[in-house]
Amino acid sequence: MIDMQRVRPIEILLVEDDPGDTLITREALEHSKVANVLHCVTNGEDALSFLRRQQDHRDAPRPDLVLLDLNLPRRDGREVLREIKNDDELRRIPVVVLTTSQSEEDVLRSYDLHANAYVTKPVDFDRFVEVVRQVDEFFFTVVRLPTAGTA
């Protein structure tokens, strides 16, 4: 059920270095049932700067959800996930690993690092759009998350 008390759009951080996948994700979220704002960064260093509100991201909002690719330049998604889940200020932010990897090792390692979900990106455009919409809908209409700023 949609939280009618929510007065602001959902803030989503997409950490993705593939422009095509970014475009597909943006397209999927534009037609979401839940109002959202998508913020995009293309590498692990920028993701952590955004989350910690550092450097060029001092005014960044605290995301309600992170969609995280594993294979990133500058700092890979596994390192970013580890940093998020080991940080007292960030650990409650749900992180969905959204990656092309079907490796059982990547799945296990992601959950060992406390990912909230692991989703393999479909290669089919329509299926990819549907998967992103399902993730969005699940986290914001089914799951109850702590409100931003809750200690």
The predicted pLDDT at position 1 comes to 43
Using one digit for the tens of pLDDT, what is the confidence trace for 115-137? 999 999 988 888 988 888 888 88
Does residue 7 sit within a domain? no
Q: Is residue 140 part of a domain?
A: no
Residue 33 confidence class, pLDDT cut points 50, 70, 90: confident
**Whole-structure pTM value:** 0.88
CATH of residue 65? 3.40.50.2300
| Number of domains present in the structure of the chain | 1
Average pLDDT over every residue of 25-50: 92
Task: Give the integer Cα–Cα distance in Å for 91 and 118.
Answer: 16
Return the closest-CA partner of residue 16 out of 79, 68, 81, 80. 68
- Give a yes or no: residue 82 inside a domain: yes
Checking if the pLDDT of 99 tops 70, the result is yes
